[in-house]
Chain A
């Protein structure tokens, strides 16, 4: 009798725990590669979510096409960390696909880009230099354009992500890098990163009206594209992501300012619809 009770209790508790696990077990897919800002930041976010009761399966897919393959072949509640959700472009939409309105949410926050320079190139308005950039839609192209128009000797060179830009900078292939990972490179002693040399330019061209203060650009991190997820979990996750992006590690990593984080699903989805209409 005791054995029966014990077994029944065990199986009931197992079922209960399984259902609770099923509710919080999610898959996060990163459509970018290791070494970039999104992958690094996502690890901090995953750590935060796991500390708050979620069981997270993180996939660094390497590229959007692989990300699509992964989320289309799973039944688990999945989220694609699509960094340029709000600033969607035709290429990304072509690779990732277009989510339905119900399967979409968007959380974003500010994070500064840094200008990392080799000695002798600190004055970026009066130097001849190759500048490594990642032509991602989240990249502050408005800022780069302003520098290149002010200084024709600046030569933009494109790389696939921040990791590749760092390699190019250290190997001497480029003289200046613009990246959201600059703070970490500076802390690691790899290069000197400065972020306030051109605040005047940044302030003059600020596209969204925020106070740029000391950061010269912004990184636009958007979590979007929810797959196979019930509405309760989705709403709960939106808030949890928002909190995760305010976690100490993320804020320290990017020196981001938490007041700028918000959920903006409607405008993001309208942007996607606009891109879709151009296809």
Chain B
């Protein structure tokens, strides 16, 4: 138990460093940590995830302010205001303000998460009705259809392929085989984890070294007389916006910072207030994404697909979410917020120097760990042969997607929810037709 707690605490430094590296999102950190965490108790595994998610958002803004490099799309508002921020305030003050915004955003996001999960637990009987589950899954598919990175027709094709791959195998609820072609090996279905690694994690990671070369630390003349009395208001409003927008599948967590930024811009707030609002919104959104997972067992962001797969590995059920889960999440979130704030304000310079001067060995190390973990995940799989074939198939598909500039996110999500869509859709037809 002590070792398990220690592993979860390790998520904090790992998350902080990962957040400073473009191409290493939460999902990649989870995959890299797989051998250590996949057997953790459910509550601690979810706590590990939340620690990583909070820390990456803390340190994303640090690297954006320091080096002008976007860790991911969520820090684009900060990058837009970077020059103005660095002219008006010292770097240290900017870091303190954005870290403060992350703290406020996380607290608000976590508070809303607790309220929502308690509500879900109380009303789970009615929220788990087939109509509700089917509607949530359909909404995810709809968002995939309008995924902005691709044309609608391409998204529709990706969704269709994903659903076919997702329902492949013997369905023990419908007692029917789908696309098994009478092959014994396909009865267990096609695993989504190797697909995720080949289609999403590895292409992301390959961008890491390219992005690292863009690190530039500029010196700005700043005017220290500027003050800002509305920082609290901006942080709180940003946190509330993030808590709402973050619930939108796929788009929510990535666009919440932009939505908060647009609001702040519409209200003609100062650059610092805009940055604080977007940062708080971002932090809140990355916490609130857990609500649909804990309520319906459905992933709404890519990293949650990994988390859900790991949870299912050990037979996790929605009924496992109890008050104890929330208590553990609260405990680790508080620790993460405190350490994250300290790291992003006091240790930022050291961390950025460490990352920027690490050369090629750090990306290589991460890549090597991921490759080893692909093997480990495969060896733990229920059907190693199918795992390997799926991985190779998806790796080649990924090359094609890269060449044609197609984003595979709709494919991955429809693959993940395909079976649930089929079972719930069939049940809905049984109930009403």
Contact = CB atoms under 8 A, between A and B. Distances in A.
Interface of A: 30, 33-35, 59-66, 68-69, 72-73, 89-95, 130, 135-136, 155-160, 163, 167-168, 170-171, 173-174, 279
Contacts of B380: 69, 73
B422 to A, nearest CB: 12
Given A34-B317, A65-B189, 20 more contacts: A35-B317, A35-B319, A62-B314, A65-B188, A65-B383, A66-B313, A66-B382, A68-B383, A91-B172, A95-B188, A130-B430, A130-B431, A135-B172, A157-B430, A157-B431, A158-B174, A159-B173, A167-B124, A173-B129, A174-B431
A236 B172 CA distance: 33
B92 interface: no
A171 B125 contact: yes
Contacts of A73: 379-380
Give the most central of A30, A72, A173: most B CB within 10 Å. A173
Given A34-B315, A34-B317, A158-B174, A94 B430 contact: no
Given A167-B125, A171-B126, A33 B315 contact: yes
B324 to A, nearest CB: 15
Interface in B168-185: 170-175, 177, 182, 184
Interface of B: 124-126, 128-130, 170-175, 177, 182, 184, 187-189, 312-317, 319-320, 379-383, 423, 426-427, 430-431
Contact of A135 (B173, B313, B320, B383): B173
* 8 closest cross-chain pairs (CB), A and B: A94-B187, A62-B315, A91-B170, A65-B382, A69-B382, A60-B315, A68-B382, A157-B430
A163 B320 CA distance: 13
A92 B170 CA distance: 9
Contact of A171 (B129, B184, B314, B423): B129
Nearest to A94: B187
B382 A91 contact: no
A94 B320 contact: no
Contact of B315 (A61, A130, A167): A61
Nearest to B311: A62
B319 A69 contact: no
Contacts of B188: 64-65, 68, 94-95
Nearest to B182: A279
Contacts of B426: 158
Contacts of B427: 157-159
A64 B383 CA distance: 12
Give the most central of B173, B315, B316, B427: most A CB within 10 Å. B315
Contacts of B430: 130, 155-158
Contact of A158 (B170, B173, B319): B173
Contact of B312 (A62, A91, A94, A130): A62
30 contacts: A30-B315, A33-B315, A35-B317, A59-B315, A60-B315, A61-B314, A62-B315, A64-B172, A64-B188, A65-B383, A69-B313, A69-B380, A69-B382, A90-B170, A91-B175, A92-B172, A93-B187, A94-B187, A157-B430, A158-B430, A159-B173, A159-B427, A160-B172, A163-B317, A168-B130, A170-B125, A171-B125, A171-B126, A173-B431, A279-B184
B314 A95 contact: no
Q: Determine the main DSSP class of A at the interface with B.
A: mixed
Contacts of A90: 170, 177, 187
A95 to B, nearest CB: 5
A58 to B, nearest CB: 11
Contacts of A94: 170, 184, 187-188
A99 to B, nearest CB: 15
A62 B128 contact: no
Contacts of A93: 187
A44 B204 CA distance: 48
A10 to B, nearest CB: 26
A60 B78 CA distance: 46
B128 A171 contact: yes
A71 to B, nearest CB: 10
Nearest to A141: B175
Given A66-B382, A69-B381, A157-B427, A33 B173 contact: no
A62 B125 contact: no
A167 B187 CA distance: 28
A170 B123 CA distance: 11
Nearest to B433: A155
Contacts of B381: 69
B317 A135 contact: no
A160 B133 CA distance: 14
Contacts of B431: 130, 155, 157, 173-174
A170 B172 CA distance: 23
A91 B189 CA distance: 11
A68 B382 CA distance: 6
A173 B184 contact: no
B125 A34 contact: no
Contacts of A156: 430
Nearest to A155: B430
B306 to A, nearest CB: 16
Contact of A95 (B130, B187, B319): B187
Contacts of B171: 91
Contacts of B382: 65-66, 68-69, 72, 95
Contacts of B312: 62-63, 66
Contacts of B189: 65
Give the most central of A63, A94, A157, A173: most B CB within 10 Å. A94
Contact of B320 (A34, A65, A68): A34
Contacts of B173: 135, 158-160
A61 B382 CA distance: 12
Contacts of A171: 125-126, 128-129
B125 A135 contact: no
A106 B124 CA distance: 37
A216 to B, nearest CB: 22
A28 to B, nearest CB: 13
Contacts of A64: 172, 188
A93 B128 CA distance: 30
